[in-house]
């Protein structure tokens, strides 16, 4: 059995969610949905090669991860296929590790979840391409070897998951992480540079616009605490019609935002002598976002929630968000409940 698991490990999870959103009596919703239904296949046929194949069946079947990783040494590994781009700290997290039920607004907008361009929305922070990654330096801290300097740099198609690149240009993304000799502390800087086929009224214009994006952040984790904050900034060209020539011309838009999130794990057993550990984590997040710096489009979300793992195969989450947006006459309110079954 151990030999089989070395070559193939099968897992996955299902997220069942209920969400209620209210702005006023004419703008409210109440939705049940299967948020995710994933199967995950991965393994290491040799010490040089790893692979992963992850499929999501909700809301429609689609390929999430499909890559091969060649481990030349700890400093250099080559990953080819479809996978998460090396951009931002939060984008690295699996939904099972994300503290609240939704990503921060600016991460969603600039990392390919609900991308501001529209072309790579719902790509789960992933692209198709090739990436070099590795650990450049490590050190012994309190008797444990920890990575001090890690990197990832890749070339990507730029159109999201499960699609071919439709222009000659390729995008570049890179992230550097530094741990200043403190276990659990990460300082991160990342960037994304590329072009894309701009859309106008939902139709491709066959005119390239630029996407420049930068992120900087800090994260600290230990057995109890999670503290993370990031600032993300981006310039995105959107298509407009030149009234003199009727050609499409790029109009640059500046997008920015930041978030701060914090939480604390409480751990306890089912009984006095129980070996089954429960985990309970209350969370807080402040989330600021400006879709367009030149317009009054800033929004502030105040979120709180609790995550409970009664045992390692079951998670429940409850989250509340107070939404302050200039286009609304009053505050918005969102309540989300999600149950995850992990196998």
Is the CB of residue 36 less than 8 Å from the CB of residue 43?
no
- Please compute the mean of the pLDDT values over residues 285-298 and round it to a whole number: 89
**CA–CA distance, 41 with 87 (Å, rounded to integer):** 24
Tens digit of pLDDT for each residue in 253-284? Answer: 999 999 999 999 999 887 666 677 899 999 99
What is each CA distance from 95 to 47, 154, 222, in whole angstroms? 28, 23, 19
**CA–CA distance, 318 with 304 (Å, rounded to integer):** 9
Q: Which residue has the tokens 């751990």?
A: 267
**CA–CA distance, 220 with 188 (Å, rounded to integer):** 11
- Average pLDDT, whole number, for the chain? 92
Both tokens assigned to 120: 């790579």
The angle subtended at Cα 131 by Cα 127 and Cα 133, nearest 5°, is 130
**Which residues in 285-299 are b (16+ Cβ under 10 Å) and which e?**
bebbbbbeeeeeebb
**CA–CA distance, 297 with 262 (Å, rounded to integer):** 26
Q: Identify the weakest region by mean pLDDT among 22-31, 66-75, 112-121, 248-257.
A: 112-121
> Of 263, 338, 340, 342, nearest to 303 (Cα)?
263
User: Tell me, what's the pLDDT at 89?
Assistant: 97
What is each CA distance from 181 to 136, 152, 289, in whole angstroms? 14, 20, 32
Tens digit of pLDDT for each residue in 7-33? Answer: 899 999 999 999 999 988 788 999 999
pLDDT(183) > 80: yes
> Of 1, 31, 35, nearest to 15 (Cα)?
35
User: Tell me, what's the pLDDT at 206?
Assistant: 85
Name the percent of the chain lying above pLDDT 90.
72
Q: How confident is the model at residue 296 (pLDDT cuts 50, 70, 90)?
A: confident
> Of 203, 139, 195, nearest to 172 (Cα)?
195
Domains and CATH numbers, the chain: 2-342 (2.40.160.10)
> Of 8, 86, 96, 15, nearest to 56 (Cα)?
15
């Amino acid at each position: 059995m151990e030999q089989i698991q070395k070559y193939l490990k099968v897992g996955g999870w299902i997220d069942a969610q209920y969400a209620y959103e209210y702005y006023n009596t004419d703008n409210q919703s109440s939705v049940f949905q299967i948020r995710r239904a994933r199967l995950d296949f991965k393994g290491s046929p040799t010490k040089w090669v790893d692979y992963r194949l992850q499929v999501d069946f909700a809301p429609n079947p689609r390929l999430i991860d499909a890559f091969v990783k060649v481990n030349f040494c700890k400093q250099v590994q080559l990953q080819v296929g479809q996978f998460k781009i090396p951009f931002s700290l939060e984008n690295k997290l699996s939904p099972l590790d994300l503290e609240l039920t939704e990503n921060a607004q600016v991460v969603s907008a600039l990392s390919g979840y609900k991308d501001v361009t529209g072309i790579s929305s719902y790509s789960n922070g992933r692209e198709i391409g090739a990436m070099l990654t590795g650990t450049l330096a490590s050190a012994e801290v309190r008797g444990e070897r920890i990575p001090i300097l890690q990197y990832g740099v890749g070339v990507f198609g730029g159109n999201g998951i499960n699609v071919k690149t439709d222009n000659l240009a390729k995008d570049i993304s890179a992230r550097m992480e530094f741990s200043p000799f403190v276990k659990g502390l990460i300082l991160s800087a990342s960037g994304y540079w590329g072009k894309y086929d701009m859309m106008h009224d939902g139709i491709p214009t066959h005119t390239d616009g630029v996407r420049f994006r930068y992120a900087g952040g800090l994260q600290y984790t230990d057995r109890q605490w999670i503290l993370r904050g990031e600032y993300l900034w981006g310039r995105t060209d959107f298509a407009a019609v030149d009234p003199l020539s009727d050609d499409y011309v790029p109009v640059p838009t500046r997008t920015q935002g930041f978030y701060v999130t914090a939480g604390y794990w409480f751990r306890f057993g089912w009984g006095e002598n129980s070996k089954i550990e429960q985990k309970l984590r209350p969370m807080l997040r402040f989330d600021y976002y400006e879709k367009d710096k030149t317009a009054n489009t800033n929004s502030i979300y105040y979120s709180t929630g609790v995550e409970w793992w009664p045992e390692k195969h079951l998670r429940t989450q409850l989250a509340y968000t107070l939404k302050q947006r200039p286009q609304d006459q009053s505050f918005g309110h969102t309540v989300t409940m999600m149950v995850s079954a992990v196998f």
